[in-house]
Chains A and B, each alone.
Chain A
């Protein structure tokens, strides 16, 4: 299975290399706008949770951007499935659905971590105070893992590109704004905070933010991300197998 997963991953990496300029530009533009608008202009003198707003915002942007890039695998898979029909090339090979899913998820994690690296670079250039140690990257990686696995699962459910856009609008966009990226979830009314607290992105934002301030991350934050990621991975494998039926 590992050999098959590596073949799928290798293809994605070749494509990433071909599109590296476009991809990096895509990873940088939106976070840069958020960073300049909210971090530097609106929140220049503001503080949240005892942090300069830019220091609060940066981990949120890392969580949001790694989520977006990892989840973009859904569109890539849809294009290869419905437009170029390359998906059939994988399914006609002996690698099996599990190896295919694993390869695509690994590619999604790589994209998510690359997006996180772009934000870290941006923060460094803007002189934002933060730490990017091992736990910081673990948080970004687990976040990307969950959303990449979710992306593959969703890609196996949808039947058209339009379905994919609808799912993104209803799941990913609200999560991007509500999952503790731009403001502390605790500021929301109790019921809303409870709902938002169920979102994996909220846990990722919290874990990455604590790690960025070199503070301990509660084990339950990791637990939620790992459990949700594994659940989506298994679901994606099941749905990919079902596509063949």
Chain B
């Protein structure tokens, strides 16, 4: 269980977090989305004990990260940058992590074998990390973060810079972890990643959470169907009913396509990245659409 309450953090005159609260249950995957500078990394640094907040509380498995140094035993972290010892082997990197978390020699060996098998790296245990591809290095980082059996796993953009097929492999691995009961906190810039993986999603904007819900509900707030201008000149329009979206598309000049609304649409609406606009040829939907937008993810 992860629980953050009213986290606030400032750097000189910049307020990075303005009172952030959330919780993640065991076996739940919570995606934390926001643009660069929104406060995602600050949150993750606080929740992994790397940075102290100005105020608020951060609990993992019921232990206070800010007061109890042993609380870090419950935290696993996969950083955004590859922070492995490149000159050392995969097994040595895992072994050092096990030592830092106080695991016995026997336990280190057992866990190393177990996790290397689960991430498909048994054959590469003796290879220097510098000889591995980016995708394999990510897997090593995930194995390392789980060596000490944490109750909570923090993934900071774990698939950034990876090929689509490697990303899918990492997704499968994350899903597998989730089923083993670990509370997972994920930050990512790939919204489709959050949509595919997350049980719940939070939108973070300027150091504040603006919406928290399941991907389905967040999408539902703006409407299940989107009519999208293929020229990109006008913003997408959203509708609860497909028939309305089709009717809207039919009365537009130029190419308009109708598709299911995605989490990315909801995210962009929440971040103010595109105003909701409903066609004048569907007067009955304009108010409803605007109302949904104002009272929803924004």
Instruction: Give me the interface of A with B, judged by CB distance under 8 Å.
Output: 3-4, 6-8, 10-11, 14-15, 18-19, 84-86, 88-96, 244-245
Q: A88-B50, A88-B79, A93-B72 are in contact. Are A7 and B85 (CB under 8 A)?
A: no
Q: How far is the CB of A23 from the nearest CB of chain B, in Å?
A: 12
Find the B residue at minimum CB distance from A94: B72
Q: What are 28 A-B interface contacts by the 8 Å CB criterion?
A: A4-B102, A7-B99, A10-B96, A11-B96, A14-B92, A15-B85, A15-B87, A84-B85, A85-B81, A85-B83, A86-B84, A88-B77, A91-B50, A92-B50, A92-B75, A92-B77, A93-B72, A93-B97, A93-B100, A93-B101, A94-B69, A94-B71, A94-B72, A94-B100, A94-B101, A94-B102, A96-B69, A245-B52
Q: For the complex, is B261 an interface residue (Cβ under 8 Å from A)? A: no
User: Interface residues of B: mostly helix, strand, loop or mixed?
Assistant: loop
- A86–B70 contact, CB under 8 A? no
Q: Identify which of B69, B73, B83, B92 contacts A89 (C-beta below 8 A).
A: B83
Q: For the complex, is B5 an interface residue (Cβ under 8 Å from A)? A: no
Q: How far is the CB of B7 from the nearest CB of chain A, in Å?
A: 15
Which residues of A have CB within 8 Å of B70?
94
- A18–B50 contact, CB under 8 A? no
Q: For the complex, is B86 an interface residue (Cβ under 8 Å from A)? A: yes
Q: How far is the CB of B17 from the nearest CB of chain A, in Å?
A: 15
Report the count of interface residues on B (CB-CB < 8 A). 27
Q: For the complex, is B88 an interface residue (Cβ under 8 Å from A)? A: yes
- B88–A15 contact, CB under 8 A? yes
Which residues of A have CB within 8 Å of B99?
3, 6-7, 10
Which residues of A have CB within 8 Å of B71?
94
Find the B residue at minimum CB distance from A97: B69
Q: Identify which of A86, A94, A96 contacts B83 (C-beta below 8 A).
A: A86
Find the B residue at minimum CB distance from A9: B99
Q: How far is the CB of A69 from the nearest CB of chain B, in Å?
A: 18
Which residues of A have CB within 8 Å of B77?
88, 92
Query: What CA separation (Å) do A96 and B72 show in the bound complex?
Result: 10
Q: Identify which of B49, B51, B79 contacts A85 (C-beta below 8 A).
A: B79
Which residues of B have CB within 8 Å of A4?
100, 102
Query: What CA separation (Å) do A95 and B103 show in the bound complex?
Result: 12
Q: For the complex, is B48 an interface residue (Cβ under 8 Å from A)? A: yes
| Known pairs A92-B50, A92-B72, A95-B100 / 20 extra A-B pairs, C-beta < 8 Å | A3-B99, A3-B102, A4-B102, A6-B99, A7-B96, A7-B99, A10-B99, A14-B85, A15-B88, A18-B88, A84-B85, A85-B79, A91-B49, A92-B48, A92-B49, A92-B77, A93-B72, A93-B101, A96-B69, A245-B52
Q: How far is the CB of A2 from the nearest CB of chain B, in Å?
A: 11
Find the A residue at minimum CB distance from B102: A3
Which residues of B have CB within 8 Å of A86?
83-85
In the complex, chain B residues 37-54 whose Cβ is within 8 Å of any chain A Cβ: 48-52
